[in-house]
Amino acid sequence: MLGRDGTIVAGVAVWIVVVLGLDASATLAQQHLLGAGTWVLLLLVLRAEDRATRVQVGVVVAFATVVELVFAGWLGVYVYRLDNVPAFVPPGHGLVYLAAFAVGRSAWAHAHARALLGTALALAGAWALWGVTLSTRPDALGAFWFGCLLLFAWRGRSPLLYAGAFFVVSGLELVGTSLGTWTWSAVDPTGLVSIGNPPSGIAGGYAWFDAAALWLTPRLLRRADRSRVPV
């Protein structure tokens, strides 16, 4: 993958590792600085994107921030190192979506669409199966989210976006949990659903953000365009 799309993916991957590595020993004030830097990077990258992509990223950031506040800040499904939602997380969701989107729209991905999608789903399926059979920590939520990923890849408008999301999100979660940036609870708030650390099908959870962006963006743009039409 070459050109702008490849640069976005590589840049986001490097930024994830750098920010999560620095956060491992950061104070709250330093965490805010990491957040400011992440916002700056996101806005700089978005300058060269079209209007629709910017709106999609905005939807993801808004949707994901609400989910973070509810599931991390309130329900404790996963917990961040400082028991907060770090300042770099909302813009980080925007970068993660943009990286997955860049994979999905790239000429390389379209030239290798079947192999890319097949590899993503095969790896996700193997991970989910391991989570409910061999893992020392059962992971029913991961298996459910793998089902969500399958559904979005099969029925969604942009299957290559979801394939890209699998690789980007899985890498993010493995790095974040290994560094202790966040830790997933062993069970959900009901005590009935087991959860891996991270859940195996986590990309299927993030896929809801992606699907929301793809569904809402054209509707928001149409509404904005209608509001500009002179009466």
Count the alpha carbons within 13 Å of 158 in the hemisphere toward its beta carbon: 21
In percent, how much of the chain has pLDDT > 70? 98
pLDDT number for residue 226: 85
- Candidate from 29-33, 90-94, 118-122, 153-157 with smallest mean pLDDT: 153-157
pLDDT number for residue 2: 66
Q: Whole-model pTM?
A: 0.95
pLDDT higher than 80, residue 25: yes
In this predicted model, what pLDDT tens digit does every residue of 178-211 receive, in sequence order?
A: 999 999 999 999 999 999 999 999 999 999 999 9
Report CA Rg, the chain.
Answer: 18
pLDDT higher than 90, residue 228: no
Q: Which of these, 203, 212, 183, lies nearest to 195 by C-alpha position?
A: 183
pLDDT number for residue 188: 97
pLDDT higher than 70, residue 116: yes
In this predicted model, what pLDDT tens digit does every residue of 79-97 receive, in sequence order?
A: 999 999 999 999 999 999 9
Q: What interhelical angle do 202-228 and 140-155 show, nearest 10?
A: 40
Buried b (16+ CB within 10 A) or exposed e, 85-112: bbbbbbbbbbbbbbbbbbbbbbeebeee
